[in-house]
Amino acid sequence: MILFICLNSVSPPGGDFSDPVTSATLGIVQVFWGLDKKLAQRKHFPSVNWNLSYSKYLKVLGPHYDATEPGFVELRTRTKEILQKEDDLAEIVQLVGKSALGENDKITLEVARMLKDDFLQQNGMSEYDRYCPFYKTSAMLRNFVVFHDCAVKAVSQGDITFNKIKDSAGDLMFKLSQMKFEVRNDALATGIQLTSEYSLRRKERSPSNRSWMHSMWRSRRSLGR
């Protein structure tokens, strides 16, 4: 079987994607990586805008994802929703500040920040970022999404705030930020072990796990709430 891959680069004047050449190109290509000047200025590499970029091969790759990492498609969709909502909230934050947002929105902003800084931002020259096996990618996304959902569930069940969650789960959030730095030299031999480690962490943070949720409520009681 012969596989042909064609890469085409288009630089629209002033970043205007309505330019005729750019519009014609986008109508043909199946995969689009939209580079973002603002990301590059912030030293966020690769500077690929996650809200502009897309792939039309999602349905084609669906069976492969389901067979290799069941649940990955849903995790990818949830991640995109979190990042898109964070982008929608950006203008409100600039106008009135983050303190005026609801607790759920504060959680979304924090998880989106972790996704951008600790997952999407990469250093291709480093040992931990130049290669990432698919099972690690899927496990990292799962942990971020589960943390988001657990935090949302916690604030919806009472008067607990996200600030209290950050205080009681600070170590957990630090571990989430450190996932990318875990490196295994023999990915094939340790793949099952690493996946088990991530699955264990996911279990520790699942909504059904009482210890993590109980620590949040215990923190709330210690504050006299």
Determine the pLDDT at residue 107: 94
Mean pLDDT of the chain: 79
Determine the pLDDT at residue 13: 73
Alpha helices (runs of H) in the chain, residue ranges in sequence order: 20-26, 37-41, 58-68, 72-96, 103-115, 134-156, 162-168, 170-178, 187-205, 210-222
Per residue in 79-133, pLDDT (tens digit) is: 999 999 999 998 889 888 888 899 999 999 999 999 999 999 998 888 888 888 8
Question: How distant is the alpha carbon of residue 128 from its chain centre?
Answer: 17
Q: DSSP for 123-164, please give it.
A: -TTSTTTS---HHHHHHHHHHHHHHHHHHHHHHHTSS--HHH
Confidence of residue 204 (pLDDT cuts 50, 70, 90): very low
- Who wins on pLDDT, 12 or 145? 145
- Residues 161 and 156: their CA atoms lie apart, in Å, by 9
Residues in the chain: 225
Determine the pLDDT at residue 3: 55
Q: What is the pTM of this model?
A: 0.76
Confidence of residue 191 (pLDDT cuts 50, 70, 90): very low
Strands (E), 24-79: 31-32, 54-55
